[in-house]
Amino acid sequence: MLARKGVVLKKIEKVVGKHVYGNLYECDYDALVDEEYLRDTVIEAARKGNMTLLDVRSWKIGLGVSVVAIVLESHITVHTWPEFSFATVDVYSCGSHTDPERAFEYIVSRLKARKVVRGYVDRSFDEVETISILE
């Protein structure tokens, strides 16, 4: 809480949103082409991130694979380009109980990426409540 001349400002967190994403380089070729392996990886990542898995869909696109997991708290995606040993990963979750960083790191370890360029965005919504104190 912050006080200012008879006024108290109280930050109230309304929505907790955490978005971890990245580019994975020099990944294991066999992992990048194996649709079942990638589906299992995303399913386990949701569990490790304490997310509620609702559905998983995947597609082979040329040599690569795209996996999309819908979790109650948002989503996890993996898209691969085996011919370049490259993948992109996106883990977005809402709720203080989730750990998208742990889910992201699990996917990185399973793809055996030798280089990772990672990003993070706080997608939370906060509100400041003003309380007047009468003296």
Per the residue annotation, which of 19, 27, 93, 94 is the catalytic one? 94
Q: Does the annotation mark 74 as catalytic?
A: yes
Mean per-residue pLDDT, 88-111: 96
pLDDT band at 52 (very low <50, low <70, confident <90, very high): very high
- pLDDT value at residue 134: 55
- pLDDT value at residue 1: 45
Per the residue annotation, which of 79, 93, 96, 97 is the catalytic one? 79
Burial class of 95 by CB neighbour count within 10 A (0 to 12, 13 to 18, 19+): middle
Per the residue annotation, which of 27, 74, 85, 93 is the catalytic one? 74
pLDDT, tens digit (0-9, with 9 covering 90-100), for 1-24: 444 556 666 666 688 889 999 999
pLDDT band at 25 (very low <50, low <70, confident <90, very high): very high
pTM equals 0.84
Question: 29's torsion region: left (phi>0), alpha (psi -120 to 50) or beta?
Answer: alpha
pLDDT, tens digit (0-9, with 9 covering 90-100), for 63-83: 999 999 999 999 999 999 999
Q: Does the annotation mark 19 as catalytic?
A: no
Domains of the chain and CATH, by start: 15-123 (3.60.90.10)
What does pLDDT average to over the chain? 90
Q: Does the annotation mark 79 as catalytic?
A: yes
Range in 61-65, 94-98, 111-115 the model is least confident about: 94-98
- Provide the angle, in degrees to the nearest 10, between the axes of the packed helices 35-48 and 100-111: 150
Q: CA 71, CA 92: separation in Å to the nearest integer? A: 9
- pLDDT value at residue 125: 83
